[in-house]
Structures are given as C-alpha cells and as structure tokens.
Amino acid sequence: MSSCNASLRLMRNRILNNLNPLQIGIAAVSILILGLFCYAVNFSLSIPILLLLLGLYLKGYKAIDTKLFLHFGLLLALIVFVTYAFLTYTSISALYIPVAAVAMLVMLLYNDLQLAFVMSFASSVLVGLIAGNRLDLMIIYFCGSLIGAFSVRDSRTRSELINAGFFIGIVQVLCVVLLNPSAEFLFTKEFALNHLRALFFNGFISAFAVVATLKIFENIFGVMTNFSLLEMSDFNHPLLKRMILESPGTYHHSLFVSNLSETAADAIGANSLLARVGGYYHDIGKLDKPQYFTENQIFESNKHDKLEPSMSRLVILNHVKNGMELARKYKLNSIVSDFIVQHHGTSVMHYFYQRAVSEAQEGETVDEQTFRYPGPKPQTRETAIVLLADSVEGACRALEEPTPTRIDETVRKIINNKFIDGQLDDCNLTLKDLDRISATFSRVLSAMYHSRIKYPEKTNGYTANRKKSTEENSNKS
C-alpha cells in the first residue's frame, strides 16, 4: 500500500512540474469543448474523461511535450470522425473501420512501443464507445492494433506493411472466434459474410490507409520514418550527386563515416539507418570550397600553407554554416540537418590552434575558444556516433603504419579525448556504449587498412621462353 501511495505521489509531482498554467488552461478548454461536442452528437461523456486521464498519464510518466499531444489528438480526432461518418452516413459495418492504422502510424512515426500501446488502447476504446458501448469491438480492435504496432516496428519496405495487414486480419478474426465460440454462430453464413470477411479485410484496409497517409503525417508532424531515410540514402539525391562530381574526396570520406556510424549504432541499439544517412550528409558544407579540405587535395599542395591560421579557421568553420544553407535550400529535414551542426560539437581545431600558438609573437596569447566550433554538442546518440566516426576516420587515415594495435590505440585515445572535452555530455551514450563503439570502430578500420601481400610479377609464356633461351646462349658463349 505504501509503495502504491509513493507511486501516486511521484506521478502527481511529475504532472505538476511538467505543466504550466497556460497548458492547464488549454487542457481544460479542450476537455470542455470535447465534452460539449460529445453531448451534442450523443456520444458517451466518458470519452473526454478517458482522454484527460490518458493525457495525465503520458505527461506524468513519459513527460511528452505539448506538440506531441497535438499530434496524438489529431490522430484520435480523425479516427473519431471516420467512425462517426461510418455509422451516420453509410451502411458499412463498423467492423471495417481501420482502427489499427492509428497504432501503426504512431509506431512508424515515433518508434515507441509504449506510445503505440497507449494509442491502441485509446483508439479502440473510443471506437467501441461511439459504436454503442461495444466491449467486443474494443477487445478486437485493441488486439489488432497491438499486433499491427509490433508488425511494423523497424519496417523499411512496403511489403512489411502489407504483411502487417495480414497479421491484423488474422488476429481480429481469431478474437471474434474466441469471443463467440458457439458452433451455432461460427458455422453460419452471417459469420462468414459479416464478421470473418469484414475483420480480415479490415487489416488490409488499415495497411493501405497507412501507406497512403504516412508521408502526409511525416510532413505535418515534422518527423522522419525509415521510408524517408531510405529515400535520402539514394545516391541520386542532388546533394550526393554534387558531392560525387565536385568533391569526390569528401564523398568517399562521408561513405566511410556512414559505414562506421551504422555499424556502431547497430552495436549499441541506436537507429543505424539514421546514423548512416547522417553520415552521408554531415559534410555537405564542404561543397562550397572543396579544395581547402585535405581529402580533396589530390594533385595540389595544401592551400592552408599559404594562409594565416585565423583565415584557415574561418574557412573550416564556414563548412558548417554553408552546410546549413544547403540543407535549407534542398529542404532537408531538421533531423538530418542536426548532423551538420553537431558533428563537430564545440571541439577545438587542434591543427590550426597549434599553428597559431607556434606562430604567435612573444607575449601574444591565442584564445582557444576562437578555434572551437560553434556547436551545439551532439544531442542524440546518432549524432554523437557520427562525431566520433568523423574524428576517428580522419586520424586513422593519417597513420603511416595502420596496424590493428595502432588503430585501436588511436580510436580509444580520440574517443577518450572527446569524452574528457565534454563533447558527449548532452547525449545518452553510456561508458558501456563507448566501449562497444570503440571496439566496433577498431574492428572495421582494421579490416579496411589491413596489410596486403605483394604478388609476384606475372610473365607470359613468350617472355619466359625468351628469357630461358637468352640464358642458354650466354652459357654457351
């Protein structure tokens, strides 16, 4: 009993801490309007109370922001409208309402099973209440929504959505059979036509509704799903095509960083696809002056040798600013553009800082802060992984003898320096994660830079015979 009271007090404190007077006022007005609407259309007045309690739960335990409340409110309002339209303006059975589409959309958009569970419950209960307080509909749609959310988790192809629709239909049919196990009901034409067919095809209707509306909700909510990330990973994207032609060195560097980031993200359970796409685009700002970056200086000397360290600092700093301008021009999602501004964090440009210190006049001091990137520091695990991969790849490429031991030492030294410098303070990486990332980087880099055997010179038969005859003639003479 004491533990229960403690949990309630904790929830109450979290709710009070996360709500401000404006949010409380908005919530009160919204619940009042919803209650009046339910009363006007003869819906159950328990609907606004249910939504209020769900909102308090999410605010107390998940601490979600107001924007997310609006997103979920829109999805629930749409399913309420669809249910009302089905029951009022059509003769179509309520068993065709695509309730599972709500849970599938939440899972694809936010990749959070707990949020998908809450939305499955809310949408199923709402439809059941509107359809005449039908408990059987609530249970059927709740089970179908859960299986739909589980089926589309980490989906990357449309075929997976269609498969989810099939599983939803099967589970919903199974639910109605278990709710009505009577042989007089199951072996009738009414069951086959009005229940079996409706609930089975309901799964496919939900899947097609998700396919048709997913891109719309991505744009409205400002989020990215795996489908959009896969589209951005296409090398026919204008920015990636420009990198191939205008800065091939940066392009191959970005490929290597993306591979390192994807493998490391997989190792710690982060979003590997997002890390890979972030690796592709993190250095697009170098398209402005590619010749000032070492990876693109193939047949020419280093241009920074003729520049003052302060001028070199400005050129290097500008690749972040230019990258954000290109991101706005090509309308990249903010989730991807975050990699551009965060992949250096507030790190120091050590090479140019050391040059400035060595070239400083007697009594002149060089402020280290002027040689730091503006930041911000990485805010997510994925952006932090790209920061580490970017630093590690450049350092290991500069090694004269990249043996596995030296690579491992370099990787761990760089990651340790980034940790000490505070670049990883704002992300959720743990020490255990950093150890796994280090091991993954070392393994991939060692495989990339492994030594190769020297093959003997290949000679054809004519060359060998000629050489042999020449040796015989010299011996005779």
Task: Please report how the helices 100-110 and 197-221 are oriented relative to each other, as an axis angle in degrees rounded to 10.
Answer: 40
pLDDT in tens, 419-469: 999 999 999 899 999 999 999 999 999 888 766 555 566 555 555 555 555
* Predicted local confidence at residue 16, as pLDDT: 46
CB-CB contact of 115 with 62 (8 Å): yes
pLDDT in tens, 212-252: 999 999 998 889 999 999 999 999 999 999 999 999 999 99
C-alpha angle 448-452-456 in degrees, rounded to nearest 5: 155
CA distance 424 to 379: 8
Rg (CA), the chain: 31
More confident residue, 282 or 65: 282
pLDDT in tens, 340-393: 999 999 999 888 888 888 887 777 788 888 889 988 999 999 999 999 999 999
CB-CB contact of 103 with 120 (8 Å): yes
pLDDT band at 139 (very low <50, low <70, confident <90, very high): very high
User: What is the mean pLDDT of the segment spanning 95-118?
Assistant: 92
Half-sphere exposure in the Cβ direction for 328 (13 Å, CA): 6
User: What is the mean pLDDT of the segment spanning 50-77?
Assistant: 76
Q: What is the CATH number of domain 65-223?
A: 1.10.1760.20
Domain range annotation of the chain: 1-63, 65-223, 234-448
Give the range among 47-51, 121-125, 201-205 with minimum mean pLDDT. Answer: 47-51
Give the range among 199-203, 294-298, 462-466 with minimum mean pLDDT. Answer: 462-466
Q: What is the CATH number of domain 234-448?
A: 1.10.3210
